[in-house]
């Protein structure tokens, strides 16, 4: 271990305001040389602002989420805010993960210490409630302490801007460049944590802010639509359970049946390996509950309830099928279009291109953005609806310019109840859309890595030898988004043939490389089942070809 690194560890210990973190680092320092690799990793660099803020493992040191890092981040954020809107209101929310409440209080103390007003949500609540509060309270900005669906050892720090700084399109939306780089610079300029002024821990808001959110959420569905629906639900140990239940009751639905073992917030997430509805096994308990209760549909939120997953029964009692995010996305878009909602319908470059076809035929606006709701939120002034394939859906942009798993679940329930009243299902409606527009089948090849450098090596491998054909069709276009102007550049490669599309990019929130696959299969109304079989086989073949193009020779299903 170098003397320079040892000095940096000692310097950090001297500044760290948390005695538990100081002890943790001192024990590692005392255990050298056995702990050299661990300390080197913790001091390899600071956490940096990525997707809307910070996210990392809960551990002491600059390359982790802890009280010292949060104080520094809050000080940088507050310094940036006060340069633009001195004395403004900062609204702070937090989930039930380890450290979330403490990090929220520390942020409030930094804000009030610099002359800002700080208001905390009344208890651990979903991220969309914070996004709503930023708009509803005319706040300068908002902070949400959450790591969303990351593993239990992680936490994070998301930043939202009000209309004062974000503009009309960014009111209540996550930060985008150049604000994130400017805030990052302010954070790096904070050198001595002991000199950061601290004030009182802010004002704790009453339940009226949640009541206001619930009133707005319930208004997303229509009073005169059918409400008879049996729902099995899980919040996956997160903070969405009671809020979703209250929203369903206000909207006129029965309370969903909730998985008892996952009903209460628990930052340890004891029943799942990864608290993400998309991960294998995460939905097992709610699917078992659905079978037991003979539910019509299954709904799940991720732990901070900004995503909504849906599962439907397979015919003849053959179990349940998770709908892909693209399937849920186009179902809700179709529902709103048929209800007459005008404006722009938006999605991202990695989502299904079916929405584009639907918007063109239905005569509504369409927009496509880079991945992430920070971009989708700003897709158009008249944004009517937005979704991304990773289960993020915004059905009420006037409430919050962010994904919202609570209002999305309400709209899913309205659609499913209406179809049930006609003796039809969500699967029936998907088949009807396939007959109308063709069968758009999407899948994903996701490669989790331990070494982040491996992602760069795979992207470099792909760029060095781009495929000229896929599925025995010539690649008709290749787009490398790194070649775009700086303000819209991104580490993304898009390949297209006449019937397929592949989008490859590093994940913005997890140590993964992702390849998004899509094939389009022509279909007639009498041929939907056969077309699904053909498309599934085609997607499997495409996965294999893309894996080879990335230099991966063993691909799990």
Name the pairing type of β-strands 365-369 and 344-348: parallel
Element of type H or E holding 308: strand 308-313
Collapsing DSSP to helix, strand or coil, 204 comes out as strand
> What is the spatial distance between Cα 248 and Cα 258, in angstroms, rounded to a whole number?
13
Lateral strand order in the sheet of 493-496: 439-448, 512-521, 500-506, 493-496, 477-480
Annotated active-site residue 524? The verdict is: no
Name the 3-class secondary structure at 374.
Answer: helix
Cβ contact 516:503 at 8 Å: yes
Cα separations in angstroms, 92 against 72, 304, 552 = 16, 14, 43
User: CA 228, CA 397: separation in Å to the nearest integer?
Assistant: 27
Q: Nearest 5°: phi and psi at 177?
A: -60, 145
Residue 470 to residue 455: CA distance in whole angstroms? 22
Q: 148, 352, 353, 554: which is the annotated catalytic residue?
A: 148
User: Could you write out the three-class secondary structure of 11-73?
Assistant: HHHHHCCCHHHHHHHHHHHHCCCCCHHHHHHHCCCCCCCCCCEEEEEECCCCCCECHHHHHHH
Q: Which residues contact 199 (CB under 8 A, 6 or more apart)?
A: 109, 110, 111, 112, 113, 114
Name which of 495, 461, 498, 500 is nearest 480 in CA terms.
Answer: 495
CA angle 254, 433, 402 (to 5 degrees): 55
Which sequence positions are flagged as catalytic?
Answer: 148
């Amino acid at each position: 271990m170098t003397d320079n690194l040892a000095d940096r560890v000692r310097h950090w210990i001297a500044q760290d305001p948390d005695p538990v973190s100081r002890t943790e680092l001192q024990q590692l320092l005392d255990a050298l040389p056995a702990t050299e690799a661990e300390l080197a990793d913790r001091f390899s660099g600071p956490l940096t602002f990525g997707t809307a803020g910070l996210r990392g493992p809960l551990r002491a040191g600059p390359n982790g989420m802890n009280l010292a890092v949060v104080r520094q981040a809050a000080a940088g954020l507050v310094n940036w805010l006060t340069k633009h809107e001195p004395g403004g209101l900062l609204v702070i929310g937090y989930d039930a993960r380890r450290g979330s409440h403490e990090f929220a209080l520390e942020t409030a103390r930094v804000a009030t210490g610099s002359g800002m007003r700080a208001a905390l949500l009344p208890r651990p609540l979903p991220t969309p409630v914070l996004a709503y509060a930023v708009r509803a309270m005319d706040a300068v900005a908002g902070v949400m302490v959450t790591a969303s669906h990351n593993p239990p050892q992680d936490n994070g720090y998301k930043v939202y801007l009000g209309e004062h700084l974000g503009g009309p399109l960014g009111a209540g939306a996550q930060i985008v460049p150049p604000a994130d780089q400017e805030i990052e610079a302010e954070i790096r300029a904070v050198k001595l944590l002991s000199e950061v002024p601290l004030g009182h821990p802010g004002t704790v808001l009453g339940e009226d802010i949640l009541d206001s959110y619930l009133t707005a959420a319930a208004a997303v569905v229509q009073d005169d639509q059918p409400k008879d629906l049996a729902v099995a639900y899980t919040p996956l140990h997160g903070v969405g359970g009671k809020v979703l239940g209250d929203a369903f009751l206000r909207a006129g639905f029965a309370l969903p049946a909730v998985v008892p073992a996952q009903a209460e917030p628990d930052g340890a997430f004891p029943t799942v390996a990864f608290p993400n509805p998309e991960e294998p096994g995460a939905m097992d308990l709610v699917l078992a509950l659905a079978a037991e209760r003979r539910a019509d549909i299954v709904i799940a939120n991720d732990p901070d309830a900004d995503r909504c997953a849906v599962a439907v029964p397979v015919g003849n009692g053959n179990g349940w099928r998770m709908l892909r995010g693209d399937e849920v996305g186009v179902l809700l878009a179709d529902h709103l279009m048929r209800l007459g909602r005008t404006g722009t319908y938006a999605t991202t470059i990695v989502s299904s291109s079916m929405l584009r076809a639907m918007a063109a035929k239905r005569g509504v606006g369409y927009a496509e953005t880079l991945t992430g709701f920070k971009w989708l939120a700003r897709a158009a002034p008249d944004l009517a609806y937005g979704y991304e394939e990773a289960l993020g859906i915004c059905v009420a942009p006037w409430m919050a310019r962010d994904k919202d798993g609570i209002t999305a679940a309400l709209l899913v329930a309205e659609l499913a109840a209406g179809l049930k009243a006609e003796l039809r299902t969500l699967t029936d409606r998907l088949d009807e859309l396939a007959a109308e527009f063709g069968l758009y089948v999407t899948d994903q090849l996701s490669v989790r890595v331990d070494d982040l450098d491996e992602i760069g090596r795979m992207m470099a491998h792909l760029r060095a030898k781009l495929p000229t054909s896929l599925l025995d069709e010539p690649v008709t276009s290749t787009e490398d988004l790194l070649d775009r102007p700086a303000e819209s550049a991104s580490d993304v490669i898009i390949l297209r043939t006449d019937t397929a599309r592949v989008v490859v990019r590093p994940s913005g929130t997890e140590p993964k490389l992702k390849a998004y696959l899509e094939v389009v299969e022509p279909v007639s109304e009498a041929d939907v089942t056969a077309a699904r079989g053909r498309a599934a086989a085609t997607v499997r073949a495409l996965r294999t070809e893309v894996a080879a193009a990335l230099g991966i020779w063993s691909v799990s299903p």
